[in-house]
Amino acid sequence: MKFNRFYFLITVIFLVYLILVGRLFYLQIIKGQYYAEISNRNYIKIFESNPPRGKIYDRNGVLLAYDVPTFDLIAFPYIVKENYKIEDLKVILKNLFEIDLDEKNQNIIKKNLLPKITLKKNLNQKDVENFYNYSYMLKGFYLEVVPKRVYTPEANYLPHIIGYVGYPTKEEVEKNPDITLSTLVGKSGIEKIYDHILRGKAGQKAVLVDAFGRQKKILWEKDPQKGNDIYLSIDIRLQKIIYETFKSSGHKSGAVVIVDPNSYQILAALSYPTYDLQKFYEGLKLEEWQALTGDKYTPLVDKVFSGRYPPGSIYKPLVSIAALEEGVITPETRILSGSEFSIGKYKYRNWNKAGCGYINVAQALEMSCDTFYYQVGLKLGVDDIYKYTKLFGIGEKLNPEIEKKVAIVPNREWKKKVLKQPWFHGDTVNLSIGQGYLSITPFDATKIVVPIVNGGKVLKPQIIKGYYDNKKQMFVSLNPEVIRVIKMKKWNLDTVRYGMYLVVYGPQGTAKALKSVPVKNAGKTGTAQVYTYLTRQKKHSKWDLRDHAWFISFAPYEDPKLAGVVFVEHGESGGGVAAPLMANILKRAFKEGVVDVK
């Protein structure tokens, strides 16, 4: 009995095995080709879609940058290589899309090196029509919707501020898991600084495609999420006035910054010359690129935040505050200030060869009297000049997001470390009038005037007012941030402000052009020496040997709404060039109602 059961079990196992082998034979040998074709015929592919970036507006809602959808022609090499000979493919692509299939893409297709390749970006209407009309000839191709960045004509007044977008490098993708090589990301300016706000989230869709790469059915889809819209602090009306004023002046290079001294919002920031932002984003011809990079007036350099230049006499209001606060002088102190000042065998000239006579600090500002500041600077000393310079935020990135470079502020340690030399009295003399080793950016220049105007507050500069949060469905405002408050006596501040008022309205003021502005205002001229007096005398006509021209300003005098700086590279004269430029800007700004003085 036991014997029979054993053989019965063996027989059952054998029969089951036989059935399995037979089924396997049937599936793999008899129906193998059929199922292979089925498996090749349909499969699921995941497509990613780039989200539209947020729009960029000025502070009043004027549109500066936005996205429009475009189409790119994509190919799947692993499908294309199975269906076309390269020579046939070249003819088809040339005839339908005017594409010359280069060696690189030929190689990718032949060797199936990449999952997909982009053969042509931003297809025109005819290309799209050809794709759909001749789709039966296009096995392994599809159209991908790609957002294209468009910059409005107004954006060309501030290309350095807006910046541009592009595709990330492999290194950028490795650092940021939220982006792929096909994600449009900010490369400079606002587009880069606030990329995390402007860039949305990519969408995905699972598509059933056939063996020829043609879409059969969308299985599921997740829509891309548009990025948040940003509102700059910039007033494009003021920016345009500044651009037109600078351009019509005939000067070739410079920068202008206007800020609200009460919030430190940047209302305008021009780096001149500018460039065509749209053309720069879409791609320049070789000769256009060479023209931009070879231009001696450096249009690609953002002079507002990246250029460093000696400030000259616009530095004197800060030295005045330091001297008054440290008790070196009082508002009434009068100092005999002649045509030159001597330290040993070295003579330091006054720009006014007649000298200034017995003057106080307000008059010294009015006349921009060098010999007054030589003496005050020596009494004050380099340590206190350095201390107040740093307190004002010069040489400090008050907003690291927007400040690329800041001032080089020298002192004893700096000179010993950098130049391997001790600090001399002559260095202090030069520093007291904004010369020597001191160099600042045009934006740093606003840091001189803002605390003097607002009572000592060092604020965080802002380039955007806020953004619209799509998720929360609300506008997020950025409020002023106080970094620190410099303790300064009111009468000291009033003295310096009055001195700057005399620069415009005093009998010996150096910026009388500002009298024509329809509101009372104040400022300080600066003519910063670039080369020695003798060099300039010999080669006076050469642009790059001339002095730099500066003017810092605030208006209206009693209740300031604006503080700003005009810098003209190698402009030669602060009073003769920079001040009239600021006068023309302020006249238009107030007459055209850009600034509300109520």
Give the pLDDT confidence of 467-477 residue by residue, as tens digits.
Answer: 999 999 999 99
Quick one: pLDDT at residue 357?
95
- Mean pLDDT computed over 52-65: 97
CA distance 499 to 359: 12
Q: Could you tell me what percent of the chain has a pLDDT over 90? A: 67
Q: Would strands 266-272 and 254-259 be described as parallel, antiparallel, or unpaired?
A: antiparallel
What are the two backbone dihedrals, phi and then psi, of residue 438, each rounded to the nearest 5 degrees?
-70, 130
Residue 364 has pLDDT above 90, yes or no: yes
- Mean pLDDT computed over 339-348: 92
- Tell whether the torsion through CA atoms of 468, 469, 474 and 475 is positive or negative: negative
Residue 1 has pLDDT above 80, yes or no: no
Quick one: pLDDT at residue 539?
52
- Mean pLDDT computed over 176-196: 90
Q: Which comes out higher in pLDDT, residue 74 or 238?
A: 238
Quick one: pLDDT at residue 64?
98
Quick one: pLDDT at residue 211?
62
Instruction: Enter the tokens of residue 452.
Output: 């003097």
- Mean pLDDT computed over 46-59: 89
- Mean pLDDT computed over 332-343: 95
Residue 37 has pLDDT above 90, yes or no: no
- How far is Cα of residue 484 from the mean position of the Cα atoms in its chain? 26
CA distance 180 to 111: 23
**Which of 2-6, 126-130, 180-184 is the least confident region?**
2-6
- Mean pLDDT computed over 219-235: 91
CA distance 417 to 424: 15
Amino acid, res. 521: N
Across the chain, mean pLDDT equals 90
- Mean pLDDT computed over 46-60: 89
The answer, as to whether pTM is greater than 0.75, is yes
- How far is Cα of residue 573 from the mean position of the Cα atoms in its chain? 29
Quick one: pLDDT at residue 154?
96
**Which of 101-110, 183-192, 356-365, 589-598 is the least confident region?**
589-598
Instruction: Enter the tokens of residue 295.
Output: 């231009």
Using DSSP, state whether 120 is helix, strand or coil: strand
Residue 370 has pLDDT above 90, yes or no: yes
Quick one: pLDDT at residue 598?
63
Q: Could you tell me what percent of the chain has a pLDDT over 70? A: 93
